[in-house]
Structure 1
Amino acid sequence: MRPAHLALAVLVAAVWGVNFTVIEVGLGHFPPLLFSALRFLAAAVPAVFFVGRPKVAWKWILGVGLVLGVAKFGLLFIGMDAGMPAGLSSLVLQIQAVFTALIAFAVLGERPTRLRALGMAVALGGVALAAVDEGTAGPLGAFALVIGAAACWGVSNVLTRKASPPDSLNFMVWVSTVPVLPLLALSLLTEGPSRDLDALRGLDWQGVGIILYVAWITTVFGFGAWGWLLRRHPASTVAPFSLLVPVFGMSAATLFLGESVSPLRWGAAALLVGGVALTSLAPAKSRTRTGTPSAVSEPDAVPRGDRREKIAP
């Protein structure tokens, strides 16, 4: 990988990591569901008018939009609003790699190798340790919501693999159009029209900047740059850089929000990142239609388009 491409990969990881701190600040301006709706509205408009028509079937756009946009981000924003720290959220959300592997096994017949199974066990141990740490410092209900968000992310990853979009940016922009109305409806029902109107009336330049960051920088730029890198380098070369996301996420939360990181949380981080590394980078066996395990490793066992997708946090 060229130095410029290496720097771009690190920059994307940094952008995605800092995003959790920006979300934390944004939740002081907006109710969580309204905030999530505004994020996707800004990501979709005006970009949707420039990326061309959708290049996959609408069923995949609707499916990923509802699971990723409404369920995953709705749970994440509500969990953080309920007290889940930004740095810990950036770490725990990486358990999505384990959910992706488990769902891919159940739906796609991709049998994990022993090394990948070990990675899943190690990552789950890290989540358990993080839960113990959070149980002494914050609400476990908020922790559970972020775990639920990670599970929804795993489902959306498998749906994206099935969709196999040839243009990652086009796909993400059209996916961003789907959650806006459902999230707005849920916000009106659960957060109330008066709270939403108060947030919109009180919109200031900081609030605008927050929405633009989470929409244009983390979604449009981050996802577009990540897809650009994956079109030029093997997935096994690009994917490890995503492990830097919780490093930047926890560092930014400590620097800008004053979040403390206990020794127990550092231990959880080491286990979770190490386990996710094994889960993400170890090859997976896949099954043929007759149920016979294939000798082809995962990166070569799926169509090229399947390898390009990674949804930004």
Structure 2
Amino acid sequence: MKQRDIIIGLLVIIVWGLNFIAIKLGLQDVPPLLLVTLRFVFACFPAIFFLPKPPVSWPWLIALGLSINVGQFSFLFLGMKMGMPAGLASLVLQSQAFFTLFVAVTWCNEVWRWNHLLGLAVSACGMAIIGLQQGGNMTIVGFGLTLAAAACWGIGNIIMRRATLGVPPFSILSLIVWAGVVAILPLALLSWLLEGPAAWLTVFHTPTWTMFGSIIYLALFATLVGYGLWGKLLSRYPAAIVSPLALMVPLVGMSSSAIFLGESLSFAQSIGALLVMLGLVVHVLGGCWNDKKTKVETLTTKEP
């Protein structure tokens, strides 16, 4: 990977890591479902008028919007509102890698590899340790909702894979924006029904700079800039090279949350976090070792 692209990748990781601080700050003034709604309103308009619809059928586009944008972000924002620290949320959300594998195995008939099983076992131990540390700076409800967000993200990953199978190349940003538009109405209805019109009136009548800053960061930087640059990297390099960079998001999320929000992990939570990260590394990078080993075996068995 070229030095310029490494810098771009690191910039995206920083933007996405700080995203959890923006969510936490925004939730101080805006109800969670309304905050998600406003995120996509400002991210999709006017961007949708400049991005053509991706070559994905409407049923797949709707499924993608409901799973990732409605499901993932609703559960994540609710979880963080109900006691999930921003740093731990950035880590637990990465369990989407294992939910993606579960869905892929059952839906797409993919097979388990040693690194998948070992990574899952190690990360599951870490998640169990974190989950048992309820109270203090984390609630079990917030932890459960964040896991539900990761599950929705995993389902959405497989939907995206199936939706884009065999279609011509397109901009990932256009897919994000169009799937975001699909999510706006369901999110707005959920917010209106569950949070109530009074919450909407309070937000619109008493806006704050924190609210504006949070929405702008979530819509412009975390969504448009983040996914736009990520899409450029994926268009230049194989996913196996780009995807491992995402393992750095929890590191940025936890360190920045400690610096800016004063969050801290207990000793047990720190052990759990290390186990989760170790499991994710084995899960993602173990496949590369498998591929290298296969190549070596193939070369050594060739006839001279």
5 Å matches for 1:123-142? 123-135=123-135, 137-142=137-142
Give, in whole Å, the separation in 2 of the partners of 1:142 and 1:135.
11
Q: Paired residue for 1:275?
A: 279
- 1:56 & 1:137 partners in 2: Cα distance? 42
Partner of 2:181: 177
Change (3 A) 1:153 1:200: same
Residue equivalent to 2:26: 26
Rate the CA distance shift 1:234–1:54 in 2: closer, same or farther, 3 A: closer
Measured in 2, the distance between the counterparts of 1:203 and 1:23 equals: 16
Q: Which runs of 5+ in 2 are unaligned?
A: 289-293, 296-304
Distance of 1:160 and 1:238 partners within structure 2:
17
Q: For residue 302 of structure 1, what is the aligned residue in structure 2?
A: none
**Paired residue secondary structure (2:56):** coil
Deviations 1:77-114 (A, max 9, x none): 01110111111100111100000011100001110111
**Equivalent residue for 1:235?**
239
**Conserved 8 A contact 2:29-2:208:** no
Tell me, which stretches of 5 or more residues in structure 1 are unaligned?
285-295, 298-313
Aligned-partner Cα distance in 2 for 1:162–1:29:
38
Q: State the match for 1:204 in structure 2.
A: 208
State the partner residue of 1:55. 55
Aligned to 1:141, the other structure's residue is in SS state helix
**Partners of 1:36 and 1:219 in 2: CA distance:** 12
- Superposed displacement of residue 137, structure 1: 4.4
- The question of 1:189 aligning with 2:193 is answered yes
The whole-number CA distance in structure 1 between the counterparts of 2:113 and 2:259 is 39
SS across alignment from 1:99 = helix
Q: Number of residue pairs matched?
A: 286
Contact residue 83 and residue 141 of structure 2 kept, 8 A = no
Normalised to the residue count of structure 2, the TM-score between the two structures is 0.90
Contact kept? 1:101, 1:279, Cα under 8 Å: no
Mapped to 1, the partners of 2:231 and 2:278 lie a distance apart of 24
Q: Secondary structure at the match of 2:111?
A: strand
- What SS is found at the alignment partner of 1:111? coil
Contact persistence 1:95–1:124 (CA under 8 A):
no
Q: 1:260 aligns with which of 264, 275, 278?
A: 264
Q: Alpha-carbon deviation of 1:136?
A: 5.7
* Rounded Cα–Cα distance in structure 1 between residues aligned with 2:113 and 2:7: 32
| Bigger Rg, which one | 2
Asked if 1:248 corresponds to 2:252, the answer is yes
2:191 alignment partner AA: S
- 1:215 aligns to 2:227 (yes or no): no
Q: What is the deviation of 1:134?
A: 3.1
Root mean square deviation of aligned Cα: 1.7
SS of aligned partner of 2:133: helix
Shift of residue 129 of structure 1?
1.3
C-alpha change, 1:137 and 1:23, in structure 2 (3 Å) is closer
Q: 1:171 & 1:184 partners in 2: Cα distance?
A: 20
Provide the rounded CA distance (Å) in 2 between the counterparts of 1:94 and 1:54. Answer: 26
Scaled by the length of structure 1, what TM-score is found? 0.88
Q: Deviations over 1:241-291 (max 9, x none)?
A: 10110000001111111101222222112111111122223439xxxxxxx
Report how far residue 208 of structure 1 moved.
1.7
